Structure formats: structure tokens, C-alpha cells
Amino acid sequence: SLDQGKHWTPTFDRQGRTAIGSVAIDTTKSTRVYVGTGEANTNADAYYGDGMYVTNDSGKTWQHVHLPGVLTVFHVEVAAASAGFPSGRVFAATNNGLWLSTNHGKSYRNVSLPTNAAHTGVYRDTPFGNFVTDVRVRPKQANEVVAVVGWRRGSATEPNGKADSVG
């Protein structure tokens, strides 16, 4: 909408997925919008996504960026330029870790949060051990990033005896 929500025009209907988990508008360029796909829940019947999309022209055109192993983007957070990051940062909290872009969403890398019990590496014993369901950058403190890590059942065990996540 360009008129405070009175009228709406679809801009994403022709993309690879229409299930959207999160949308964020760039803090320095309002025509740049980031879309994380996949329903932002973990139901067995949830619609999966296929990564991130970015537009630089208010949705006239979209660029797709595949994030390996990502079916759901729970939250997208945009951080303004700061020391060491002249183009700002985009974070994507996903079912497969926390992803970071430093080039306005053209590419991302998994930051490999230390999600195992010893906090020394990524927990990979089950598909649920590396869930990051939210991420926020502290306002006015761009170096402080908070991420929510873990599966809703905490350290409950699977039939094979392995914990879903370390809780």
C-alpha cells in the first residue's frame, strides 16, 4: 500500500513461494524490502519456503537467494550501517540457524551459532537443534544482537534417544 493501507497492490504473487514468515523494510532505503519465506511456525502441515527475497524497487522486481536447508524464515531484522558494516546488515532467523547478509541481501552466510551443550559448535544430532526463531539488533547499540535459539520441546528426546535440542 502506498496510501496508508487504504488500497493494496499485490507484488509478490509470482515468486517461488507465497508463504511468508517475515517482512522487513531497509532502514536506509524504503524501496528495499526483504521477505523471508515459509510459514513462521513448525506445524507438520506448514507451508515451506525457499529462502530470502529482496526488492530494491518496492516490489516491481525481486531477487531470490537460496539458503541451504532453510524451510522457514521466522524473522528478518535489518540493522543500519555501523562500525565495520558500512552497508548495514540483514539477519534471518531460520529453522537452520542464523543467516547474515552484509550486502543488502544479495548473499547470506550461516553464522553457525554455538548451539551444542558445550557452546562450541552447531548441534546437529536432530533436525531441530539449530532453530533460531527470532533475532533483534538493539536500537542505538548496533553491535548488540540477540537471538532466540532452540526447539519448543527443549531437551526432550526423540525415539532414538537423542535430544531435540540442548534446550
**Which cell numbers hold the place of 37?**
519465506
37-78 pLDDT, tens digit each: 999 887 778 899 999 999 999 999 999 999 998 999 999 999
Locate cell 532502514: which residue?
27
Cα distance between residue 73 and residue 97, in whole Å: 10
At residue 120, does pLDDT exceed 90? no
**Which cell numbers hold the place of 127?**
533436525
pLDDT of amino acid 45: 84
- How far CA 92 is from CA of 6, 14, 24, 53, 60, in Å, comes to 30, 22, 10, 11, 22
The percent of residues in the chain predicted with pLDDT above 70, rounded, is 93
Cα distance between residue 109 and residue 152, in whole Å: 25
pTM beyond 0.95: the answer is: no
DSSP E strands: which ranges in the chain? 20-25, 33-37, 52-55, 63-65, 73-79, 89-94, 97-101, 109-110, 132-137, 145-149
pLDDT of amino acid 165: 65
